Amino acid sequence: MNHLKKFPENFLWGAASAANQCEGAWNVHGKGVSISDVMTSGTHKSPRRITPVMDEHAYFYPSHEAVDFYHHYKEDIALCAEMGFNIFRMSVNWTRIFPNGNEAEPNEEGLKFYDSVFSELKKYNIEPLVTIYHNENPFQLTKECNGWKDRRCIDYYMNLCRVLFNRYKDVVKYWIPFNEINCLTTKLGNWNHAGILNEGTEFFTEQADDPSSRFAALHHQFVASAQAVRLGRSINPDFRFGTMICHITVYPLTCSPDDIFLTQQEDLMRNCFSGDVQVKGGYPYYIKRYFERNHIAFEITEQDLTDISEGTVDFYSFSYYMSNCITAQKDAAQVSGNVMGGAKNPYLKATEWDWQIDPKGLRYTLNHVYDRYHIPVMITENGLGARDVLENGRVHDSYRIDYLRRHIEQMRLAIDDGVDLIGYTPWSAMDLVSVSTGEIDKRYGFIYVDRDNRGNGTMKRYRKDSFYWYKQVIESNGENLSFH
Ligand code: BG6
């Protein structure tokens, strides 16, 4: 590796989190109910339930206490500082600040929590990378207008942005308006990504879908993101905004032209479309045709298009966990993924949750997105969900180290290819609640949290082997990836 270009001196090393998956304290200090709060736990085999009327006797709601970052943030941030982080990705929980989403004035107590988190980060010179929306839509907005299918959500969201940008204009530089915005190209996106609950939806994995309202919601988020970028820049021209794409890298299963064409179409729809809008500032040709062919219609005003063209982002960020194959064959063996499964790749191994591990796919993806957009790139999620065992205060997670090491090697190769990669925030800093299954035992963290799927445990934090290893990686600016 020595002959390769090095990681840049100011490379951003850290890890990621999301408020609804780590904070807990779901109903304190004026916080309202978010869409995550009404989701039950599940497993790989039994889907999470969406319960508009919560029943805490019948179900377990993992976000309610999560891993209690709300009361452990000082300890967690100190541990991140010990690893040497210079960036920490987090989201703000909308419902702490506007409990129902539609209030005129923010909840001061909710803001005070984020004041404290930011000042704690500052103490260690850790740059916050703030996701404004990461599955924390106020549940009230589902009741009021079925979430983002309604244009009113743009204004509600802008109220949140106005408060955040003014209050934290000298504290936060990096902003991500929406986490994995492209998930709204799939029906799974309805709930988490837009707070849309269609009649007939009971389970997270089997949602009733109306493509026109789903794509309207996505359109509203494009407009909101663009308006946020413009507003933010008017408040502080040094702010930097990023798109955040759930990148499900796709390969043709075979070299049959059918598989190749299908793969290209899938890549355009799932991976490229949202980035194209947010980076290039307009709707691409292929999506217009897709809408026509599928009878998808919603309102797009002239002003929307102006907003979108004027509010393009500064960097491209994405999550990368796996790759999948695409094929026209009907009987190909399948694997799953965070929003989209695909055909099984015979060259790759998968995790217990059936997500295929493909480090080289990260180099491929980095080249793919940099070639398409030519703006700085950040990997804002990447990691291994696995069952860890805590024994005598230690967690020997060599499998996670192996996963991360092989991905970081490919990052270095991509830098050598010429990609302008500026940061890496793997998922996740500490263990937290899994989105797809609601489990905590599907662990991703460098920091182990003593908490299980049913809410048992002391919440005590432990350093995993990967914690010490990542510290060494950061100390050596990505040079020393060895593990003994
Ligand atoms: C990403 C989300 O899609 O995948 C995270 O942005 C999520 O919020 C992560 O936790 C891992 O997925 P899961 O389902 O294992 O939690």
CATH number at residue 34: 3.20.20.80
| Ligand 1 binding pocket includes 427 (Cβ within 6 Å) | yes
b/e burial code for range 57-76 (CB count within 10 A of at least 16 → b): eebebbbbbbbbbbebbebb
Nearest CA to ligand 1 atom 4: 338
> What is the extent of the structural domain holding 21?
12-475
**What per-residue confidence (pLDDT) applies to 340?**
80
Q: For residue 353, which atom of ligand 1 is closest to its CA?
A: 15
Q: Phi first, then psi: give them for residue 27, nearest 5 degrees.
A: -135, 30
| Ligand 1 binding pocket includes 385 (Cβ within 6 Å) | yes
- 5 occurs within a structural domain: no
**What per-residue confidence (pLDDT) applies to 76?**
98
Q: For residue 383, which atom of ligand 1 is closest to its CA?
A: 11
Residue 296 to residues 212, 237, 261, 292: CA-CA distances in angstroms? 5, 37, 22, 6
Q: Is 381 a catalytic residue?
A: yes
| Ligand 1 binding pocket includes 244 (Cβ within 6 Å) | no
- 483 occurs within a structural domain: no
- 48 occurs within a structural domain: yes
- How many whole angstroms from 435 Cα to the centroid of ligand 1? 5
- How many whole angstroms from 356 Cα to the centroid of ligand 1? 15
Q: Supply the DSSP symbol for 93.
A: -
Question: What would the pLDDT profile of 403-434 be if each residue is shown by its tens digit?
Answer: 999 999 999 999 999 999 999 999 999 999 99
**What per-residue confidence (pLDDT) applies to 224?**
98
Nearest CA to ligand 1 atom 3: 338
**Positive or negative: CA dihedral 272, 275, 279, 284:** positive
- 2 occurs within a structural domain: no
**What per-residue confidence (pLDDT) applies to 484?**
78
Q: For residue 437, which atom of ligand 1 is closest to its CA?
A: 14
Gyration radius of the chain's alpha carbons: 21
**What per-residue confidence (pLDDT) applies to 2?**
75
| Ligand 1 binding pocket includes 179 (Cβ within 6 Å) | yes
| Ligand 1 binding pocket includes 338 (Cβ within 6 Å) | yes
- How many whole angstroms from 338 Cα to the centroid of ligand 1? 7
Q: Is 56 a catalytic residue?
A: no
Catalytic residue chosen out of the listed positions 180, 266, 409, 439: 180
How many separate domains does the chain show? 1
Residue 262 to residues 90, 338, 348: CA-CA distances in angstroms? 35, 20, 21
Closest CA to 215 of 126, 291, 289, 131: 291
Give residue 176's identity as a one-letter amino acid code.
Answer: I
- The DSSP bridge partners found for residue 14 are 87
Q: Which residues contact 133 (CB under 8 A, 6 or more apart)?
A: 91, 94, 157, 177, 178, 179, 221
- How many whole angstroms from 17 Cα to the centroid of ligand 1? 10
- How many whole angstroms from 91 Cα to the centroid of ligand 1? 13
- 1 occurs within a structural domain: no
Instruction: Decide: 460 and 46 in contact? Cβ < 8 Å.
Output: no
Catalytic residue chosen out of the listed positions 23, 65, 120, 381: 381
- How many whole angstroms from 43 Cα to the centroid of ligand 1? 14
- 109 occurs within a structural domain: yes
- 426 occurs within a structural domain: yes
**What per-residue confidence (pLDDT) applies to 237?**
98
**What per-residue confidence (pLDDT) applies to 336?**
84
Query: What's the pTM value of the predicted model, to 2 decimals?
Result: 0.97
- 484 occurs within a structural domain: no
List of the chain residues with pLDDT < 50: none
**What per-residue confidence (pLDDT) applies to 389?**
97
| Ligand 1 binding pocket includes 442 (Cβ within 6 Å) | yes
